[in-house]
Amino acid sequence: MIIDVHTHFIPKTFIAEARRGRAMDGVHVQRINGEEWLIHPQGYGYPLLPTFYDAEAKLAHMNALGIDLAVISIAPPLFFYWTDSQMAGDFCQMANEALARFVVEGEGRFAALATVPLQAPEQAARELERAVRELGLRGALIGTSVEGVPLDHPKLAPFFTTAERLGVPVVLHPYYVGMRPELADYYFTNLIGNPLDTTIAAARMIFSGFLDRYPHLNVVLVHAGGFLPYQVGRLDHGFQVRPETQAHIHRPPSTYLQRFYFDTITHASLPLQFLVNLVGADHVLLGTDIPFDMADTQFQDHLAPLAPEVKERIMGQNALTLFGLEGQPSSDS
């Protein structure tokens, strides 16, 4: 079974409101070269492809790529951490209910991750519990920070305590709706900014003692962990020579890599092989980032050099266990 753990969704209700120009935060639909785009008032826009919201289109695309099951999550520009917490909470409830309905439309080939109003941690904890216990969602997708507040901040403890107690994974995903001035050129806001944000969030989880405080929490890093796996030697060296890095941990940062899971989105075979060798095949999961233009739809080619038993774990077995998907039918069932 081939399982994609990183693929995105937009609720139809939200799209209808955006088409009328009445969606939350001023998000609206605009036609560009005859194609619908979802436009955020902060400047970011992207094509409103049917694979975001139409189950038949999603399944057809999965069939074309050989994907049996998709673990679907909200499009990260819709985290809305910068908005009023009550409005964000209402949106999250609507979105999670829409995700649950979408799972039903997928006839056994979809699972879903909750979105939560993380700017209000107690509210986020309650919504996660509702989404998991009442709606059957399999975990949560959250940002790599909350409008400048790092994920290791004590104020966010109610959410992470609840995720750990429920035994569901938390997937970290960078988000932005406006340009970062220092990365404005050449699409660097995404090309460099996204993996950088993941690297910072994961490194903070290590150095702050966050992972020791939540010993049973499973954390998934998208985009192959950003730059973290490829610079962990530098972090280890810093731990040896800089006393401030030892304030909350007592062993090298590299020993914490096994606390993370990583998706496969490297867009190349060699870095993916390095990642698998570094963290082990049991800690890598297939991801695509569909339907954004930075999606990896060539994952079969990038995984090709790996041994068959390694590919089997990465492409399906690991996700079955991590997200509790045993018993899900394949596309051939």
β-strand partners of 149: 146
pLDDT tens for 50-109 read 999 999 999 999 999 999 999 999 999 999 999 999 999 999 999 999 999 999 999 999
Q: Residue 72's pLDDT is what?
A: 98
pLDDT at 111: 98
Q: Quote the CA–CA distance of 130 and 226 in Å, as a whole number.
A: 31
Query: What is the enclosing helix (H) or strand (E) of 301?
Result: helix 299-303
Q: Look at the block and give the residue holding tokens 């090298």.
A: 252
Q: What is the pLDDT of residue 306?
A: 98
Per the DSSP assignment, residues forming a β-bridge with 71 are: 111
pLDDT score of 327: 66
Q: Which has the closest alpha carbon to 208: 160, 171, 166, 173?
A: 160
> What is the pLDDT confidence band of residue 333, given thresholds at 50, 70 and 90?
very low
Confidence (pLDDT) at 328: 61
Please state the φ and ψ torsions of residue 51, each to the nearest 5 degrees: -70, -10
- Preceding omega of 291 cis (within 30 degrees of 0): yes
Distance CA 91, CA 24 (A): 8
* Whether 100 contacts 130, CB under 8 Å: no
Phi and psi, residue 35, nearest 5°: -115, 140
> What six digits make up the tokens of 13?
């209700």
Nearest to 71 by CA among 294, 275, 322, 268: 322
CATH topology (fold) of 3-10+51-322: TIM Barrel (3.20.20)
Q: Residue 123 — very low, low, confident or very high, per pLDDT cuts 50/70/90?
A: very high
For residues 44 and 154, give the distance between their C-alpha atoms in angstroms, rounded to a whole number: 31
pTM higher than 0.85 for the full model?
yes
Task: Mention every residue, 6+ apart, whose C-beta is less than 8 A from residue 271.
Answer: 224, 230
In whole numbers, what is the pLDDT of the chain averaged over residues? 96
User: Degrees (nearest 5) of the Cα angle 276, 285, 282?
Assistant: 55
Mean predicted confidence (pLDDT) in 219-230: 98
What is the Cα–Cα distance from 99 to 96, expressed in whole angstroms?
A: 5
- Domain spans of the chain, in order of start: 3-10+51-322
Q: How many residues does the chain have?
A: 333
Which tokens in the block code for residue 107?
């006839």
What's the confidence (pLDDT) of residue 325? Answer: 94
Encode pLDDT of 154-184 as tens digits: 999 999 999 999 999 999 999 999 888 899 9
Range 39-45 average pLDDT: 93
Q: Confidence class of residue 242 from pLDDT cuts 50, 70 and 90?
A: very high
